Structure 1
Amino acid sequence: MSAPPRKIELSPKVIAAIAAAVLALVVAAVAITVRVEHRRHGHDREAGHEEHDGHQHGEKEGAHGDGHDGDHDHDHDRAEKHAPDEPGEAHAHGDRLKLSPAMIQNAGLEMLTAGPGNVAVTVTLPGEVALNAEAIAHVTPRVPGTAREVKKQLGDTVTRGEVLAVLDSRELAELQRELLAAKERLSLAEASFTRHEALWRERISAEKEYLAARQAVAEARIEHRSAAQKLSAAAGSGAGKGTGYALVAPIDGTIIEKHIAIGEVLKEDTQVFVIADLSTIWVNVTVYAKDLSRARIGQTAWVKAEGIEQSARGTLAYLGQVVDEQSRSAVARVVLQSPGAAWRPGLFATADIAVEEAAAPVVVSDEAIQRVEGKDVVFVEEGDGFEARPVKIGRRGTSGVALAAEGAGGGPAAEPRRGAPVVEIEAGVAAGERYVGKNSFILKAELGKSEAGHQH
């Protein structure tokens, strides 16, 4: 009789150890399988490449062996490489850009020459164009009257002493009557005094009558003088014949206000005309507290107003001594001499006050500076193209000397520009080199498009 089979019982710890061992064996087997498959595919791919290269090599040898196909392909590649530029295209090689003559002309590039100059460090201040308050005249009639004739209109240019209008005035006529009466009484008194003086000297009349006649002459003269002064004070140089009273221009200038019409009754305090001498203009600017220490009377200022392309040069003539409590700023005044008819009071303006000026060995126009790949560059003329040359810039400001400008086609020099924004170049551009000033951003755009095409 056989013995019954033995029953084997395993503890939980033994079962967990066996399961972990089995899992490790499975993971190792999978890893080996993946590595073998990867290596086999790698050999297949290398073999395919070798076969492909051999096929290409064979084709190339066959082409060269034929004597025509290889040369034809080589000539075709050479023709494509050296194909002439298409009109209106820009081609870039690194940082160098080549433009066709037609594109240079259409872009309106301004060619300038780098060179030494003065850089005026400026402070830009907001302001407003205003009339010169010291060159304004208000014309009033002094005596009431009715407008008989109006000779000048709004906007007319007048000279000092020129008749603007003629009034009829009863008050003026009364003053003229008083003056005439005083003149007649003076004549009679003088005649009476002459007669009494002759009688007294001949001992015919008493001295008392002679003294009375002399006193009468003195009183008549005083009365006549008083009447003449009253008429002069009322009418001034505008007094005319009869009841006519002329309003005359007290200064040279332009009529900027007119408040009179024919037949209109005017009082003695009516402001009939306002005349302004526009040969000088004020620009009232705001100087903030941080700039007050650098502003000085007599400094040069370049003023730019809205709607006016050309800036005007002026002088800082006044600097307020009181700071406004609200804006924490002071008022300053820039005086412009003969700025032109376009400078109208009321226009907003900005004034660049030159607070410091220094000489620089190389100065370029501010419009020439462009940012390319995070660097400041200037497009310098190199042969038949333009090189985007990195530069190290120094002080920025306005030009204290003229910048000679030439046309894109190398034409005659343009008018020198004073007060134009300029930049000091410490490295990158040498004096005498030609560079692109105005519209240099077009070259930057073309360079960006060319680089994008190469990356694609």
Structure 2
Amino acid sequence: MIKRYLTLPNFLMLIVFFMCAMLSVKAVFADEDKHEHEHAGHHDEEVAHIDEDMASLNAISTAIVSSGDISKTITLYGDVTLSPEHTSHVTARFAGRITRVYVEYGDTVKKGQVLASIESNSSLQTYNVTAPLSGSVIAKHANAGEVVSEQTLFTITDTSTLWAELKVFPSQASLIKAKQTVILQSDDMQTRSVISQLLPNTSGEPFRIARVKFKNPDDDWFPGLLVSAQTLVDKREVNVRVPLSALQQYENKTVVFIKEGGVYKSQPVELGLQDNQFVEVLSGLNAGQQIVTENSYLIKADIEKDGAEHSH
């Protein structure tokens, strides 16, 4: 029966059918290989395509990488005190009886303003006690009719200048020097000054006192206020630095995201010195490149999402 139907025409048709089937299978595998290659190539790129409008809408900010200073600081803590040279304890020049008092506790006075009148015991003449400086009356021990001699009648202080007294513990002592810059902070207030003096602590506790004189023109600061102080102990210029906000952890590496046109891609970096705002980049990045400095986590999320979609 087989010999009867396997004629030459049928045999040739069978060969043609078999060859076509093989070509189809080869084409299918070639197409799958191409797709896998394209998918792998796309994943290796690890890029995000975000246009300017979308970047602006999501507050994705960029900056040009440059050189700059890295500052090392130490945080000290303490409180605000009155300025000794801006505080005066007012006494009577001559013993006598107070005939009149013109100010009260808490009043603000001007330099030369009359505070009280006193009748001298020796001359029986009345003389005035005046303010030696402008400021606030923070203590009053004078009342009309009292007899006075050497005691303090008024204490006046000018709070337009104050001091911060900061504790310097043994582990910090070798790094803290006079003239170093400090940024004092209390709640949302901040001011810049320098360490004026380093004094021993007379209480016997194991720390020194760093005294910082600062201006208080708006009278926002006051004695007893607790403060922290970022104290600059070292500063050096580095060739490449980036803000800390630019850093992300991606695939177990520290990266920044470089912007080239509308394309963002991850770039692993090796880091060096660091302060509270910036970090030195030792390798992986050059000055002049544009990087994402704010909301870089959105770029990371976009790349991870794209990679997840292509893995299925």
TM-score, scaled to structure 2:
0.67
How do residues 64-83 of structure 1 correspond to structure 2 at under 5 angstroms?
none
Structure 1 position 250, deviation (Å): 0.9
Structure 1 position 123, deviation (Å): 1.9
SS of aligned partner of 2:136:
strand
Describe the shift of the 1:257–1:384 C-alpha distance in structure 2 as closer, same or farther (beyond 3 A).
farther
Partner in structure 2 of residue 135 of structure 1 = 86
Alignment check: 8 A CA contact 1:286 1:332 kept = yes
Query: What is the alpha-carbon distance in structure 2 between the residues aligned to residue 99 and residue 131 of structure 1?
Result: 57
Moved more, 423-432 or 270-279: 270-279
Q: Which amino acid aligns with 1:343?
A: W
Moved more, 284-293 or 270-279: 270-279
Describe the shift of the 1:355–1:127 C-alpha distance in structure 2 as closer, same or farther (beyond 3 A).
same
Alignment check: 8 A CA contact 2:52 2:262 kept = no
Q: 2:234 aligns with which of 356, 364, 376?
A: 356
Describe the shift of the 1:282–1:148 C-alpha distance in structure 2 as closer, same or farther (beyond 3 A).
closer
Contiguous gaps of at least 5 residues in structure 1: 1-49, 58-92, 180-234, 240-244, 399-420
Matched, 1:320 2:199: yes
**Higher Cα Rg, which structure:** 1
Partner in structure 2 of residue 295 of structure 1 = 176
Query: What is the alpha-carbon distance in structure 2 between the residues aligned to residue 147 and residue 366 of structure 1?
Result: 64
Partner in structure 1 of residue 130 of structure 2 = 248
Deviations 1:146-199 (A, max 9, x none): 54533x88473x543233x344x4xx154443x6xxxxxxxxxxxxxxxxxxxx
Partner in structure 2 of residue 448 of structure 1 = 301
Alignment check: 8 A CA contact 2:133 2:156 kept = no
Query: What is the alpha-carbon distance in structure 1 between the residues aligned to residue 48 and residue 249 of structure 2?
Result: 15
Contiguous gaps of at least 5 residues in structure 2: 1-20, 29-44
TM-score, scaled to structure 1:
0.48
Query: What is the alpha-carbon distance in structure 1 between the residues aligned to residue 301 and residue 146 of structure 2?
Result: 72
Aligned CA RMSD, in angstroms, stands at 3.9
Q: 1:342 aligns with which of 205, 208, 220?
A: 220
Alignment check: 8 A CA contact 1:132 1:278 kept = no
How do residues 210-221 of structure 1 correspond to structure 2 at under 5 angstroms?
none
Q: Which amino acid aligns with 2:98?
A: G
More strand by share: 2
Q: 1:304 aligns with which of 185, 208, 231?
A: 185
More helix by share: 1
How do residues 87-236 of structure 1 correspond to structure 2 at under 5 angstroms?
94-96=46-48, 98=50, 101=53, 104=56, 107=59, 111-140=62-91, 143-145=96-98, 147-150=100-103, 154=106, 156=108, 158-163=109-114, 165-167=115-117, 169=118, 172=119, 174-177=121-124
Describe the shift of the 1:102–1:274 C-alpha distance in structure 2 as closer, same or farther (beyond 3 A).
farther
Q: 2:282 aligns with which of 414, 418, 426?
A: 426
